[in-house]
Amino acid sequence: MDTKNTVRVRFAPSPTGHLHVGGARTALFNWLFARHHGGTFILRIEDTDTGRSTEEYIEAIVEGMRWLKLDWDEGPYRQTDRFDIYRNYVERLLLEGKAYRCYCSPEELEQRRQEALAQGKPPKYDGRCRNLAEPIPDKPCAVRFKMPQEGATIVNDLIKGPIEFENNVLEDLIILRSDGAPTYNFVVVVDDIDMKITHIIRGDDHINNTPKQIHIYKAFGWEPPQFAHLPMILGADKARLSKRHGATSVMAYKDMGYLPDALVNYLVRLGWSCGDQEVFTREELIQYFSMENVGKSAAVFNPEKLLWLNSQYIMKEEARGLAETAIPFLIKEGIISEGRHIDMEWLSKAVNTLKERSRTLVELVSSLKYYILEYVEIDPKAKDKFLKPENLKYLSELNVILSGLSDFTAAELEKVFHAFADEREIKLGAIAQPVRVAVTGGTASPGLFEVLEIVGKDKVIKRLSKVIGG
């Protein structure tokens, strides 16, 4: 099959919430499929539920897509802009006798549904308006699609394989509400045909909708696209991922200091694999992506592994670029103020020492405090352990030596410290840890000498003096 330049896929979220990780993964797989085949990726907003859709969420979804760098070639289309198109198609079905007006009120329907459920019967529409001879003038009505009741429908899913449905389990679904707004199962078909979608890649929560949609395609005489149903993403309790499981919105991960490439890498490995490889560049993903390597079973979202991946990406990232993305976090934490000038070259050096010990940008920024601030807050436990009187004696001797240094570089400092320890016949750690605590406020940091160099002689002396004095 020649799929080159002919593949057209879409991500079709409904703007009833932020872009969440499940949606993001669906978007990602569509995007990868399109990019891999040199096809077209379309963003379509499914806002036919005017009661729940909001402009804010449309913005939020677009923002999330941009942050993840999932660029689209067409759209965002909005279904609310296309109501006339849908109504024409509904009209056509009505004319051809493939749909009918239903005068049952939502209340009546709901009541019958509850009764059926209570009796343990399938809550399926009974079709009572199906054979009405004449339209009832001036009575509000919805339009239902006449679902075939004989035979079976087979969905040939690219991921799950063939799935068979008995047609008699399908009901005459409403395609046009009494307020004139069309419904999902109808517009999705019309749009996918209208937009010449070749592959529908979506969550497997849509599997049961697929046979219904196939009948609509058939009613119009259209050839359905290919279907590929992605397995769900679950929480630790194996239930569908939701707010209960913690952060689910993509932008929440941005705020927590995750890199978009790390999230993308994590998400793609939830359900897709390529041998033993865990870390991929975008180019590799595009090159290697194939529907054949998409798994069938649902996957539990594992924050620990995402954190590890994020640390990998931070480690690989250029210090300069990291420093730049860290700026908003520094401002948010009040470590630097909005307009203040900061020497990016210097900051990059500091960031460089922290790259391999920060799993998130938030952690990175937190460590950056002791590089940037004048004084540091000292952890009480660290103080008790390492700033005892005997240590303070060494610190003040050392402070004198450091004050006299003109070459305050890591290499020079290392020599000085070793000489200091040798003369007093103490281990390097015996002096390094107290200095570390005095300068960084804690017991863990990058190599002490590089920290001292970057913090700079001035601040180092100030911090040591303060510790000795107080």
State which of positions 193-252 bind RNA (CB under 7 A): 204-209, 231-232, 234, 237-240
Backbone angles phi, psi at 44, to 5 degrees: -130, 125
- What would the x/- binding string for RNA be over residues 322 to 361, using CB under 7 A? ----------------------------------xx----
Supply 281's token pair.
């560049």
- Selected from 69, 128, 305, 381, the binder of RNA by CB under 7 A is 305
Q: How far is the CB of 331 from RNA (least distance, A)?
A: 25
Give the Cα separation of 163 and 445 in Å (integer).
57
Q: With contacts defined by CB under 7 A, how many residues of the chain interact with RNA?
A: 92
Q: Which stretch binds RNA (CB under 7 A): 42-50, 255-263, 320-328, 455-463?
A: 42-50
Which amino acid makes up residue 192? D
Any bridge partners for residue 272, and if so which? 294
Pairing of strands 152-157, 161-166: antiparallel
Q: Of 181, 117, 35, 95, which is closest to residue 27 (Cα–Cα)?
A: 35
| Contact between 254 and 67 (Cβ < 8 Å) | yes
Q: How many CB atoms lie within 10 A of CB 140?
A: 12
Q: How far is the CB of 111 from RNA (least distance, A)?
A: 11
Residue among 18 and 436 whose Cβ is closer to RNA: 436
Give the Cα separation of 349 and 57 in Å (integer).
39
Q: How far is CA 429 from the centre of its chain?
A: 43
Contact status: 290 vs RNA (CB under 7 A)? no
- Selected from 33, 165, 227, 289, the binder of RNA by CB under 7 A is 165
- Selected from 163, 251, 252, 468, the binder of RNA by CB under 7 A is 163
Residue among 184 and 280 whose Cβ is closer to RNA: 184
Q: How far is the CB of 122 from RNA (least distance, A)?
A: 4
Contact status: 308 vs RNA (CB under 7 A)? yes
Q: How far is the CB of 439 from RNA (least distance, A)?
A: 11
Give the Cα separation of 156 and 158 in Å (integer).
6
State which of positions 53-72 bind RNA (CB under 7 A): none
Name the strand (E) or helix (H) holding 229: strand 226-230
Q: How far is the CB of 305 from RNA (least distance, A)?
A: 4
Contact status: 456 vs RNA (CB under 7 A)? no
Residue among 104 and 416 whose Cβ is closer to RNA: 104
Contact status: 464 vs RNA (CB under 7 A)? no
| Contact between 54 and 15 (Cβ < 8 Å) | yes
Residue among 336 and 402 whose Cβ is closer to RNA: 402
- What would the x/- binding string for RNA be over residues 117 to 156, using CB under 7 A? x--xxxxxx--------------xxx--------------
Residue among 136 and 300 whose Cβ is closer to RNA: 300
Catalytic residue among 243, 381, 388, 415: 243
| Contact between 21 and 246 (Cβ < 8 Å) | no
Q: How far is the CB of 140 from RNA (least distance, A)?
A: 6
Q: Which stretch binds RNA (CB under 7 A): 3-11, 89-97, 164-172, 243-251?
A: 164-172
Which amino acid makes up residue 354? L
Q: Which residues fall within 8 angstroms of residue 358, CB to CB, at 6 or more apart?
A: 311, 314, 364, 367
Q: How far is CA 367 from the centre of its chain?
A: 26
Q: Which stretch binds RNA (CB under 7 A): 33-41, 84-92, 297-305, 401-409?
A: 297-305
Any bridge partners for residue 294, and if so which? 272
Give the Cα separation of 454 and 460 in Å (integer).
10
- Selected from 38, 115, 246, 315, the binder of RNA by CB under 7 A is 315
| Contact between 40 and 74 (Cβ < 8 Å) | yes
- Selected from 270, 323, 347, 395, the binder of RNA by CB under 7 A is 270
State which of positions 422-451 bind RNA (CB under 7 A): 427-429, 432-433, 436, 443-449
Which amino acid makes up residue 348? S
- Selected from 33, 43, 46, 392, the binder of RNA by CB under 7 A is 46
Q: How far is the CB of 290 from RNA (least distance, A)?
A: 11
Contact status: 101 vs RNA (CB under 7 A)? no
Q: How many CB atoms lie within 10 A of CB 33?
A: 24
Q: Which stretch binds RNA (CB under 7 A): 70-78, 175-183, 252-260, 338-346?
A: 175-183
Pairing of strands 233-234, 299-300: parallel
Q: Which stretch binds RNA (CB under 7 A): 33-41, 307-315, 320-328, 454-462?
A: 307-315
Q: Which residues fall within 8 angstroms of residue 204, CB to CB, at 6 or more apart?
A: 159, 160, 229, 230, 231, 232
Give the Cα separation of 116 and 118 in Å (integer).
5
Give the Cα separation of 199 and 284 in Å (integer).
22
- Selected from 5, 6, 38, 52, the binder of RNA by CB under 7 A is 52
415 in catalytic set: no
Active site residues: 243
